[in-house]
Chains A and B, each alone.
Chain A
Amino acid sequence: MKFNLSGKLLASSACVLLALSAPVLGVAGDTIKFGVAGPHSGDLASYGLPSINAAKIVIDKVNANGGINGKMVEMLVEDDVCKPEISTNTATKLVSDGVEVVLGHICSGATIAAMPIYKDSGVLVMSPSATSDALTLSGDYPNFFRTIAPNAAQSPAMVDFAINKLGLTKIAVIHDKGDYGKPLAEGAKAYIEKTGKGEVVLFEGITPGAMDYSAIVQKIKKSGADVVVFGGYHPEASKIVTIMKKKRLKTKFVSDDGVKDDTFIKVAGKAAEGVYAAGPQDNSSNPLALEAQEAHKAAFGSDPGAFYEGAYAATIVMLNAIEKAGSTKLADLKKVLQTEKVATPVGSINFDENGDAIGIGFSMYVVADGAYVVVK
């Protein structure tokens, strides 16, 4: 092929290159770029959409009061559909758009996949929902923080509830083979064996998205379990409890915060009655939590969804850190986060050296009359 490097070709390619590089030049320093990443479409969208609302309410309030140190806060929203292979693209896009802090991601698997990209760029990441222990306890992610307790706190809470509160000792531990459910289930199994007060009669992983779970339910029945401790998300949980009801099983179902979602109750219907799920600590007595809920009702006309309070708290905490530190450098922000206690809807919190929030935990909830209520 004859390549004629005429002046016209050279000029036009130079123009194209210049145009493509323009977004990267950016207007650095004019606004504080606040990234929000999570599932905003797909079957787990109900986990990610409330966080956008939370960030929007807080950021609008902050901007109305003059912004942070004179700069307005700009929200950049990207969808990762809770899939690790998509979240890397999401993170790359946010980083190349110049984000300085990120609220997200929502699912543990997607968060773990995206973290190296944020780490390399020194971007602070705070999640309201990713509970995988590795994110804070492995030490691999010094730029990660979260406003929800890790799985290491969740599985003991679930197991203690099943054994001590419900008095059931034969436990079938089921997980969905994913980065969220499997470590949680393994933690639960280890905890049960450590306390010696319960017996793990079954430990199995199911394939998420399968059409029929009756075989595993029959296996649960054969194992003689009184209770199923489940690690995974609500689509699989609703299918399993529906089949358990169909096969007339009386086994109780204790699951994680991935199931504490109104979509679970809506889809499983009557089969959801009596299902237990762990969830972020009950904050109904916290005035800031009530204020945040009212703000959501006023702005969007409905009650907030999953992880709203955690996302609201994370946004407040991160913007406060930027204001107090006077910069968006990771080291400065970390110092503020670790030393200063900030009043938020999830309590008055600061963070430990791993990135976990101090002062929050898990509560157990039960589905009664079509809604989740906290178990006292």
Chain B
Amino acid sequence: MEYFIELLFSGLTRGSIYALIALGYTMVYGIIGLINFAHGEIYMIGAFTAFIVATVLSIYGFPLLAIVIIAGVSAVVWASSYGYTIEKIAYKPLRHAPRLSPLISAIGMSIFLQNYVLLAQTSDFLPFPTLIPDLDFIEPIAHIVGTTDLVILITTIVVMVLLTLVIKFTKIGKAMRATAQDRTMATLVGINVNNVISATFIVGSSLAAIGGLLIASHIGQINFYIGFIAGIKAFTAAVLGGIGSIPGAVLGSLVLGLTESFATGYVSSDYEDVFAFTLLVLILIFKPSGLLGKATNQKV
């Protein structure tokens, strides 16, 4: 029974890691119908920024809480500016182009950012400082779920609740929903669509940056390539849960994480990806818009 609990928490941790990144994918798709393949790289840039800031501050002897907050804020600001700029450079000019063009542009941006960080920083794996210390009261169950696992899990839930509240009950949330439904009509009604789209990218990038800091603390190392793997998994999770739906992104990520964890634990680690992607295919066959996605019909 304990083994089941261990695998359960392992899967939940993995799922929350994917969720923090999948939320960015799903938000951008919901607004402009684009899979932002460069989102994984925003996560990676957030992690690198947090790494640099945290390393510098720890040399100067700042207390741990101050380091975490300053590193977190810097990562969010840095990643958001990247997200905003990428949108303006790579996606805005292609807003009226056929669907494939911004997609290729996104892939190109992803490759560009990976190599930019590779050249500007290093190709080595860098040790990420443990910004989340092991809390003593967790110690008795540390072998099942550690402090970082809990922090990531709680952050994901809090973020999901906050986002849903913002989308449902605030003015900017209403504007986002309107833009997602019908962009032309939203412009006609007086919504500044450009600002709404930029705001979406900024929010998505901030989440990715926070994810970068937390996940890098958990795994303990970063590298210019981590965005690629994270991006693929998070994208899969977002599609599984219904791309465009925020609860869907979180649900899809948790389902994916749990499937991989149980597949490893009860069958074999060799086949963990097989199980995960077979699940994706099956769900898409029976529910093409994903678990919580809404089937959108094109009305003439």
A-side interface residues toward B, CB under 8 Å? 41-43, 45-46, 177, 204-207, 209-212, 214-216, 218-219, 221-222, 234-235, 238-239, 242, 246-249, 263, 266-269, 271
Contacts and interface: CB of A to CB of B under 8 A. Distances in A.
Given A211-B229, A247-B146, A242 B219 contact: yes
Given A43-B125, A212-B13, A215-B261, A238 B221 contact: yes
B269 A43 contact: no
A211 B230 contact: yes
A245 B14 CA distance: 18
B217 to A, nearest CB: 11
Nearest to A45: B123
A235 B229 contact: no
Contact of B219 (A42, A43, A239): A239
B17 interface: yes
Contacts of A219: 264-265, 269
Given A209-B225, A210-B229, A211-B233, A216 B269 contact: yes
Given A205-B269, A211-B233, A235 B11 contact: no
B230 A235 contact: no
B125 A238 contact: yes
A112 B127 CA distance: 32
B3 interface: yes
Best-surrounded residue of A42, A214, A234, A266 (most CB of chain B within 10 A):
A214
Nearest to B122: A45
Interface in B267-284: 268-270, 272-273
Contacts of A45: 123-124
A216 B219 CA distance: 15
A267 B127 contact: yes
Contacts of A266: 127
A212 B276 CA distance: 14
A164 to B, nearest CB: 28
Contacts of A41: 118, 123
A257 to B, nearest CB: 18
B137 to A, nearest CB: 15
Interface residues of B, number: 41
A205 B229 CA distance: 18
B71 interface: no
A215 B223 contact: no
B269 A267 contact: no
B269 A239 contact: no
The majority secondary structure among interface residues of chain A is helix
Contacts of B144: 247
Given A205-B270, A212-B10, A269-B127, A218 B3 contact: yes
A239 B218 CA distance: 10
Given A215-B14, A221-B143, A266-B127, 18 more contacts: A42-B123, A206-B269, A209-B229, A211-B17, A211-B226, A211-B229, A215-B10, A215-B260, A215-B264, A216-B269, A218-B7, A219-B265, A221-B6, A238-B125, A239-B221, A263-B124, A263-B125, A267-B125
Interface of B: 3, 6-7, 10-11, 13-14, 17-18, 118, 123-127, 142-144, 146, 148-149, 215, 218-221, 223, 225-226, 229-230, 233, 260-261, 264-265, 268-270, 272-273
Smallest CB-CB A-B distances: 3 pairs: A215-B264, A214-B10, A204-B269
A268 B270 CA distance: 24
10 contacts: A42-B225, A204-B268, A211-B226, A214-B149, A215-B7, A215-B14, A218-B6, A219-B264, A235-B125, A267-B125
B143 A248 contact: yes
A239 B273 contact: no
A11 B66 CA distance: 71
A212 B124 CA distance: 19
Contacts of B143: 221, 247-249
A239 B264 CA distance: 17
Contacts of A215: 7, 10-11, 14, 260-261, 264-265, 269, 272
Contact of B223 (A222, A235, A246, A249): A235
Contacts of A268: 127, 220-221
Contacts of B14: 211-212, 214-215
A246 B146 contact: yes
A54 to B, nearest CB: 20
Nearest to A81: B123
Contacts of B215: 211
A205 B142 CA distance: 25
Best-surrounded residue of B124, B223, B229 (most CB of chain A within 10 A):
B124
A207 B18 CA distance: 16
Contacts of A210: 229
B13 A242 contact: no
Nearest to B5: A218
Nearest to B14: A212
Contacts of B7: 215, 218
